[in-house]
Amino acid sequence: MMRLVKKGLMFGNLIEVSSPALVERYNRALKHLIDRETALTGFHIDMSGYSPEIGDEFEDQLYLNPKGCNQMFILLTTDQMKAPLLNSQFSTSRSILRQYIEENEDQLFALTAREAVAGELMNSVFHISSPSDLLHINQIEIEADTIQEHVAEAHQLSEQIDQFMTEDDAWWDDVLIAQMIELAKRTGNIQRNPVTLDNKTYVQGNYYTSHFGGVYIFRDAETPTVIARERVEGLDDLSIEQILTFDDREAIADFLRDEDLSELIVQAPNQSTAAIIKQKLDFITITIAAEQGHDLSGLSRQNIRHLERRFVEDLPEEFHGLMDVWRWASMGGRPPKMRPNHPAFFYCLRSSQHKDRDLVNMLLSDLSRLDFRQLFICHKALFYDAYRSWSESKKDYVSDFLAQEYAMDKVGAREALFGDEPAMEEPEPEPKPKTEFTNPWGKAKVKDGLYKVKPHNKKEDDFRELYKDYRKKNYRKSKKGKRD
C-alpha cells in the first residue's frame, strides 16, 4: 500500500498533528470521548480526527466510530473539512460532516483556537445487528462542544444575562452576579463575540453502507429499493417495496432506468465517448495480462494492443461486449444489442445528473470492478481491498497510471467520465404552450394556429436501439408516467 501512500493516492490531504499543544488537546478530546490517550508525539488525522497511526497503536481502526454506527469526531482546525474521511461506514457521513463544518466555520475557528471541539454524528440506533436497523436511520444529529464546554457555558451565561436584565430583583442577587463573572472569565464577552454551535439535524436519505457486505439504500426513490451485494440473513424481512441483490441484474437495470438514475455513456457515435470505452477495454486487458503473469513495467498505450492479440483467448465477455460498443461509438454502423445480464452491460452506464449521482456511480463501479480507475474514483474502500490481492506488476502500473493520468487533473477527468457536476439550483421551468397533445412521434405544439410535430431525435433513436431490451424501441410509459 506504500506505493499509493507515496503517490498521494491513499491517506492524501491528511492534517499533520505534531506540535505538543495540539497533541495535548487531541488527547484531552480522546480521553473525553473514549477514555483513552495516545502515546504518539506526532500523527495525521482525517476530517473526523481519526488517525491511521493511532488506529494501529490501539489495534482498533474504528476507535472513533464504535461498531461502525455513530461517528465521533475531534476538530483541531477547520482545515480538516478539506481532508478525506477514512473508514466511514456510511457514504453520507463525509458530506454531512463537511456541511456542518462549513456552516459553523467562524464559530469553530474561534473555538479551536483555544481548545479541541469534540462531537458525534448520532444515528437513531446505537447498534446495527440486522439489516432492518438500516431503515431506522432516518436522521443524523450532530452535537459538539469543546472539552471545557465553552459552548454550553456560553449558553448558560446568555440565559443568566437575560435573567439579570429582565428580573427586577436580579441586581441584588450576589450569587447570580458571581456566577456570571466566573463564566465570563472562561467564555469571554459573548455579546460581542457570540459562542454558539446549534445542534444540527440532517436527513439520511439514499446512502451506501458497508454493513452486511455492502448495501445500497434508495428509500427516497419512487419505488423504494434496497440493493445488496449478497442475500444475507434478515434482508428479506425489510419493510421496503423492492429488495434486490447483485444477482438481480435485470431488475437493477430496470430500477436505474425507471427512476432516471442512469444513462448510457455512448448514446450515439462519438469520438469522446468512444475514448472512454477504449480505456475501459485497456483496463480489462491489463487485468487479464497481470493475471497471466505478464510483466507490465514500461507498458505504453501502443503496447496494450499487442497484449490484446496475445491474450485474446483469455479476454472475458466484458471485453468482447465493450469492443462491440467501441466499434459502434468510433466507426458507426449498426448499434450492438446488449441485455443487462451481459457482463459488460453496467460498464456502459453512468449516473445521470441528480443529487445522488455519486451514490449511483458508486453502485455502477461495484458492478464493473475491472475498471480500476472508476473503482478508485467512486469506491475507494473497494479499490483498496482489490489492490491488496493484485500482483506487484499490476500494483506498479495502476498506481503510476492513477498518479499521472488522474491525480494531475481530477476535475477534468471526472467531468470527462461522468459529465458536468449537477447544478445546485433547480432550473427554471419552461412555459407550457396553451394547447398541446401527445402522439407517437412527440409533442405537437400550437404555433400560429397550426400544430407542429416535434421531429425525431436521432440521439434518442440510437439510445433505444443500443439496448433494445433495456430501453424499448417505441415510446412507452414508465412507472413515473413519463416517456422513456
- Structure confidence at residue 160 (pLDDT): 59
User: What is the mean pLDDT of each successive set of 10 residues along the chain, which is 484 residues long?
Assistant: 88 92 93 93 95 95 88 93 91 91 85 84 82 89 74 59 66 66 58 60 90 94 95 91 95 95 90 92 93 85 85 92 93 85 94 94 96 95 94 92 85 84 46 38 37 39 47 39 41
Distance CA 148, CA 376 (A): 41
Strand, coil or helix: what is 383?
helix
Whether 80 and 123 have beta carbons less than 8 Å apart is answered as no
3 state SS of 360: helix
In the DSSP assignment, the letter for residue 14 is P
- What pTM value is reported for the model? 0.79
What does the pLDDT read at residue 230? 94
Residue 427 neighbours by CB distance under 10 Å? 6
Which residues does 125 contact at the CB level (< 8 Å), separation at least 6? 69, 133, 136, 137
Number of H helices, E strands in the chain: 17, 15
Identity (one letter) of the amino acid at 226? V
What pLDDT, on the 0 to 100 scale, is given for residue 365?
97
The C-alpha cell at 304 is 496494450
